[in-house]
Structure 1
């Protein structure tokens, strides 16, 4: 009964207009008074922020903050795939005949996640990594590889929560929520960076100006409030690191594994 009630409330709160209202408040100067309380509630490391709290004009500006230079080291090996975000890895493994198996008890198809893109064929037996960003985390998204951006796609959708409850109890959240997908061609293949919107997220924004060629670790986009990034690696193109991925807390620039030609 309680689970049904929570699910119903979440369904109602997943409407985009509710997220827009929340987003507009977070972008208003009236939200400034909540910055310190927000940082304290979520244990955010304010000493890592690019600017002092007093210099952020809105809650959204603080939430999408940059870090002080040099706080995240990007793994330099040419064949490494690095984490694009500070996050908890909530799913990782081989893609089996186009299906991502058991992400918090649910299966997803690559076809639905990528909105039936022709590029789906590249990932049918590849590898996936799901990275969840909590409100505590730094919310800028960086490139996991060096290479060329070959396609960008925006998919309109709902804004269900992507936390543990949402992934377990809401139906197929990752493929129903709003998504911004970046396909990057690197020296051994292609990688899809799928940015998934979440409840109370007003938008996912690309960093401007848009670039066609990007180096590993460059700023790609940012979330306005918490969400999830799904990395998809082509068939035969990725070997995960030896110390494992699932359940690990990672930082932007940290090595996740090695890329190789198929």
Structure 2
């Protein structure tokens, strides 16, 4: 395994996307399975949306076979092997869809449950199915309704597993130079739940005035960061079509940009991709000043893992080592911006869902003019990687703080300079 991959694996864990160690995840999985098979949830009826999902599996022979295959191919020694079949999976889903994520060391819960299945050929083939992904979307829609309800605030406490316990608060402010949570984010620490109306309200929290302002606002030669993220990959001379399913993670523009008529404008250009922390800030901001010319919603997959990583040790979270791959398949949103600066011209901000809810919400409209740093939209729980796509004609010099995998990128910070053509 490469040094780059090891470095990023550590950062994925710190960002909340991977479990701390196998014993933590194994204990959590066993506990969840025991709760739904023999515990207080063993007699619980499946919610209609989960029952529909199970019926879909059983009514479609190819899907039914695929779910059997993925569990058969999952090693018995797998850290998530306690989930042994699709019926147990549905019961665990039924539990999780009625809960808000707690703060802890396991990573996103649905991804953790499915990580073993995703790492098999049976899982890869099955999770590409369009109808199956529509059922996933329906389930995440029900979960999203719960996460937007007051009931989801049960985890917004200072108790173990709560998002305001001392360990969690330390993680939430890690990159803010010693500032306290209430100094960074809009909230009321004297109020119950810090004043947040729901789990989702907390997840998409906003900054206090003066936090993460635009760096070098008066310098017209700057590209600013769209998201609070860590650099995953920086690629140049990106091809119109490439084999995005092989090792080396080439980007394939036509696939990334959903065969859009504007995709060919970016052939030979640059892709800057970063991933967000579960504990971080989840709103997006304009990297350039310009006009929104097009917004495209792209339905896609939720749990398809790169075939180049199938069969790797599931404890190393191979899915996370193929984030370039998912830019071509996963549910995502494209925001095309025509920059006022002709040296930039057309560019694209691309929000990409990683597992779970994967809701990408634009807060701008076509025809709207935005300045560098203005809000473009937000991820709700599950969305977690993004790309900036530039044309070949746009000559950029990326700064040292934004050109190495794992680099911490502050939203609205300067990431590149624009060079004259």
Q: Same fold (TM over 0.5)?
A: yes
8 Å contact from structure 2 (residues 293, 366) kept in 1: no
In 2, distance between residues paired with 1:190 and 1:170?
Answer: 24
Select which of 160, 166, 177 maps to 2:330.
177
Shift in Å, 1:161: 8.3
In 2, distance between residues paired with 1:144 and 1:258?
Answer: 12
In 1, distance between residues paired with 2:298 and 2:359?
Answer: 12
Shift in Å, 1:241: 2.4
Q: Residue 44 of structure 1 corresponds to which residue in structure 2?
A: 172
Secondary structure in structure 2 of the residue aligned to 1:32: helix
Shift in Å, 1:178: 1.1
Query: How many residues are matched?
Result: 262
Please state if 1:152 is matched with 2:295: yes
CA deviations on 1:140-190 (whole Å, 9 max, x unpaired) are 100000011111111111223899642436893121111111111111211
CA deviations on 1:5-49 (whole Å, 9 max, x unpaired) are 453579769622332233222111111111231354652132311
Select which of 398, 403, 406 maps to 1:245.
403
Please state if 1:111 is matched with 2:254: yes
The worse-fitting range, judged by mean Cα deviation, of 3-12 and 131-140 is 3-12
Shift in Å, 1:200: 1.9
In 2, distance between residues paired with 1:199 and 1:145?
Answer: 28
In 1, distance between residues paired with 2:352 and 2:364?
Answer: 19
Please state if 1:198 is matched with 2:344: no
Secondary structure in structure 2 of the residue aligned to 1:134: coil
Q: Residue 214 of structure 1 corresponds to which residue in structure 2?
A: 370
Secondary structure in structure 2 of the residue aligned to 1:166: helix
8 Å contact from structure 1 (residues 127, 234) kept in 2: yes
Higher relative contact order (CA 8 A, sep 6+): 1
Note closer, same or farther for the CA distance 1:206–1:104 as it changes in structure 2 (3 Å cut).
farther
Select which of 5, 14, 20 maps to 2:141.
20
Unaligned runs of 5+ in 2: 1-74, 79-114, 174-180, 306-315
Q: TM-score, normalised by structure 2?
A: 0.56
Select which of 119, 141, 147 maps to 1:7.
119
Unaligned runs of 5+ in 1: none
Note closer, same or farther for the CA distance 1:93–1:106 as it changes in structure 2 (3 Å cut).
closer
RMSD of aligned residue pairs (Cα, Å): 3.0
The worse-fitting range, judged by mean Cα deviation, of 192-201 and 162-171 is 162-171
In 1, distance between residues paired with 2:164 and 2:303?
Answer: 23
8 Å contact from structure 1 (residues 91, 130) kept in 2: yes
Specify which structure has the higher proportion of strand.
1
8 Å contact from structure 1 (residues 20, 200) kept in 2: no
8 Å contact from structure 1 (residues 22, 200) kept in 2: no
8 Å contact from structure 1 (residues 238, 257) kept in 2: no
In 2, distance between residues paired with 1:171 and 1:86?
Answer: 18
In 1, distance between residues paired with 2:213 and 2:338?
Answer: 23
In 1, distance between residues paired with 2:304 and 2:198?
Answer: 23
Note closer, same or farther for the CA distance 1:164–1:153 as it changes in structure 2 (3 Å cut).
farther
Larger Rg: 2
Shift in Å, 1:210: 6.5
The worse-fitting range, judged by mean Cα deviation, of 73-82 and 136-145 is 73-82
Kindly report which structure 2 residues correspond to 1:216-235, keeping only aligned pairs within 5 A, or say none: 216-225=372-381, 226-235=383-392
The worse-fitting range, judged by mean Cα deviation, of 209-218 and 109-118 is 209-218
In 1, distance between residues paired with 2:185 and 2:234?
Answer: 30
The worse-fitting range, judged by mean Cα deviation, of 160-169 and 240-249 is 160-169
Q: Residue 100 of structure 2 corresponds to which residue in structure 1?
A: none
Note closer, same or farther for the CA distance 1:157–1:80 as it changes in structure 2 (3 Å cut).
same
